[in-house]
Structure 1
Amino acid sequence: MDLFEIDEKQRMSREAAADKLRALADSLSRHNSVEFQKAGKTLTVSVPDQVELAIEVELGDDNELEIELSW
């Protein structure tokens, strides 16, 4: 399978970002998968029952909160 990669940034309100995170979390808990679209292609990613969750916070000139799931 070819590499399917999405690396995008959008500026939005904190509430809109929370809505996106909520939708992602709902999809994970209800469907055990998430869907991504890019250039007219849709990829459904099945997520196993056990994952590794990493949370990273960087505070400085540019503040950052990273949430990563891996398996």
Structure 2
Amino acid sequence: MDLVEIADTAEMSREEAARRLHTLADALARHNEVEFARGGARVKVRIPDVVQLKIEVEIGDDEGELEVELTW
């Protein structure tokens, strides 16, 4: 299978970012797949019952980063 990569970066309020994370978390909790839509195309990603969760925090003088990664 070919590698499919979807990357999306957008500036938004903290509250909107939380809403998007809640939507993703709800999809993971209820289904075994999540769906992404970009440019008129839809990609469904099947997520297995067991995943590895990595949370990384980087804090610098001028910026910070919180990265959440699921792998399987």
Q: Same fold (TM over 0.5)?
A: yes
Tell me which residue corresponds to 1:34: 34
The aligned counterpart of 1:45 is 45
C-alpha deviation, 1:39, in angstroms = 2.3
1:32 deviates by 1.5
Q: TM-score, normalised by structure 2?
A: 0.90
Please report the TM-score for the alignment, with normalisation by the length of structure 1: 0.91
Q: Could you say which residue in structure 2 is the equivalent of 1:17?
A: 17
Name the counterpart of 1:67.
Answer: 68
Q: Distance in 2 between matches of 1:13 and 1:46?
A: 29
How far 1:2 sits from its partner (Å)?
3.5
Give the aligned residue type for 1:56.
E
Assess, with a 3 A threshold, how the Cα gap between structure 1 residues 41 and 2 changes in structure 2: closer, same or farther. Answer: farther
User: Aligned partners of 2:67 and 2:36: how far apart in 1?
Assistant: 19
Unaligned runs of 5+ in 1: none
Identity %: 56
Superposed displacement of residue 41, structure 1: 1.4
Number of aligned residue pairs: give it: 71
SS of residue in 2 equivalent to 1:15: helix
